[in-house]
Amino acid sequence: MEPGGTPPRRNVAVFLDMENLYGGVAGHPTSVPVGSILKDIGQLVRDSGVGALTAVARAYANWGRAEMGTYRRQLLGHGVEPVQIFSFSQDIKNAADIELVVDALRVAAEAPWIEVFVIVSGDGGYVPLVRRLHALGKYVIVVTTSGPDVGAVSSMLRSAADQFHVVAVPEPPAPPPTLAEYREAILSLVGADPELLIDGRVNGARLGMLLRKRWPGTTSKSFQYRSLGALVEENCGLRMIRHVEPKPVPEMVPA
């Protein structure tokens, strides 16, 4: 509390339904850019003048899944409280939804100075929550993402909210190639780019640059080769340009 008993001006609460954003049990949890979502929300509430700082930020998911460990740094860096949901199975249908609704109404009751509620989901089941928050005098923003696993956004939820916002999600990086795919890419590049061959030998510097552009995290060491030249010569039937040719072994002259 500030001097005089006035609550601090931290008047935004954010609730992320992670299950909805990554498509449930069959989805890919790491497809949800928590950091980007929270950054966009912060910018949105500041630019529109409806809010200031974030008092509450909670994300609902089965954090016991091995893949969810990748979120640890994002959650800590943005002050997000992970709320454990133990099942998204048919036995406990909409477990995250129920927990999120209960928490949001509890915050509305216990922290009346929090005026802005951000629901990160496209699920139409949150419409009654939005209406109840309106009845309590709260401003409600609904946020979703353009991620590939996100389902269709409920038109009722969109119209019920005071604001609706979509966070653009970048395309996920291409999966790392197999050795066969890497080999095919090398042969294709050499066949299509005349600058890659000099006197019948491969320009390794240019080839490496083109391969890194396609697969930034992949190198010859990804396939247990000490160099790109060794990989190319062993797998592609090509010769590399050698800037330093090996010195011939001198012949032994009889004394």
122, 194: one domain:
no
pLDDT for 183:
95
CA distance linking residue 231 with residue 186, whole number of Å: 10
73, 154: one domain:
yes
Of the residues 142, 167, 192, which one is the last residue of a structural domain? 167
pLDDT digits (tens, 9 = 90+) for 101-129: 999 999 999 999 899 999 998 888 999 99
CB-based contacts of 24: which residues, under 8 Å, 6+ apart?
Answer: 88
Domain housing 139: 3-167
Let me know if residue 242 belongs to a domain: no
Confidence category of residue 62, pLDDT binned at 50, 70, 90: confident
Let me know if residue 78 belongs to a domain: yes
Residue 91 reports pLDDT greater than 50: no
190, 98: one domain:
no
156, 106: one domain:
yes
The residue behind tokens 């001097």 is 3
Q: Is 66 helix (H, G, I), strand (E, B) or coil?
A: helix
The residue behind tokens 């922290």 is 111
Q: Which of 61, 58, 100, 97 is nearest to 75 (CA)?
A: 58
Confidence category of residue 254, pLDDT binned at 50, 70, 90: low
Q: Is 12 helix (H, G, I), strand (E, B) or coil?
A: strand
68, 190: one domain:
no
Let me know if residue 39 belongs to a domain: yes
CATH of the domain at 60: 3.40.50.1010
3-27 in b/e burial notation, b at 16+ Cβ within 10 A? eeeeeeeebbbbbbbbbbbbbeeeb
Residue 184 reports pLDDT greater than 90: yes
Residues 146-160: what's their mean pLDDT? 77
Structural domain count, the chain: 2
132, 228: one domain:
no
Contact 163, 141 (CB under 8 A): yes
